[in-house]
Structure 1
Amino acid sequence: MMLTSVATSEISAPRAPRAPREPHIRRRTHVVVPLVIIDVTVPGTSSANGRRALHAALGDDLRLYVVTVDQQHERVTFRVEVTSRSLDDVIGLLTATLDRATLGRAQATVIRRPRDY
């Protein structure tokens, strides 16, 4: 036969009340920035003119990727990624500045960037 000993306290000691904790305030380590991705087709056979026109319309806070250069129909399609603007702002700027552009698929989302302290 195996014996097991268990120690129990017959006297329970009252616990001292805890001081209320300060509410933990979480500091964000990032900022949420809007991102718009849109396909834009402009007339021409060179992507350089289209790049200049898109930078003039939207500023420098964007990334441009050439999707297609259609020599036969003389048009260039770009994938444009614009940060810090809403989809409405981007479409408004493009339609006001580029009168012969064709706007394609558009997507609005957000990205997280490290916070500058």
Structure 2
Amino acid sequence: MLQSTVSAIVPIARTARAPRTSRRTHEVVSLVTIDVTVPGTASAESRRALHSALGDDLRLYVMTIDRANERVTFRAEITARTLDNVIAALTTSLAQATLGRAVSSVLRRPRQS
């Protein structure tokens, strides 16, 4: 003869979880990219002036050296500063610089311990 079995439904005890904490492994940092044209035909002196004006969080790229008009155009990428701060630093430090295209964005980089 067949026997029927009935399985009892046992409620699963739920354990209390610790509140979920936000462990961000990355930080959000502002990034400003700006083109700066300065007078001259050599980039070394202008590079030093840009570094002293904008600090260590700076990457510089020489875009063009125009020997006919005696000017050098740099593309500068500055992290951890706003666009307003970058423009203020450039206009107070480099009197004869021409500011070109500027883009402000954010980037995620690993959090430093």
TM bracket (short chain):
0.7 to 0.9
Distance in 2 between residues matched to 1:84 and 1:93, nearest whole Å: 14
**Does residue 27 in structure 1 map to residue 23 in structure 2?**
yes
Moved more, 24-33 or 36-45: 24-33
Partner of 1:70: 66
Distance in 1 between residues matched to 2:64 and 2:84, nearest whole Å: 25
Distance in 1 between residues matched to 2:67 and 2:9, nearest whole Å: 88
Moved more, 23-32 or 91-100: 23-32
Counterpart amino acid of 1:32? V
Partner of 1:89: 85
- Secondary structure of the equivalent of 1:94? helix
Distance in 2 between residues matched to 1:55 and 1:91, nearest whole Å: 14
* Offset at residue 14 of structure 1 (A): 4.1
* Offset at residue 16 of structure 1 (A): 4.3
* TM-score normalised by structure 1 residue count: 0.85
Identity of aligned residues (%): 59
Partner of 1:37: 33
* Offset at residue 25 of structure 1 (A): 1.6
Stretches (4+) displaced over 3 A: 8-12
Unaligned runs of 5+ in 1: 1-7
Counterpart amino acid of 2:63? V
Counterpart amino acid of 1:84? A
Unaligned runs of 5+ in 2: none
Deviation per CA, 1:54-106: give whole Å up to 9, x if none.
Answer: 11111122010000000010000000001111100000000111110000000
Distance in 2 between residues matched to 1:114 and 1:9, nearest whole Å: 57
* TM-score normalised by structure 2 residue count: 0.87
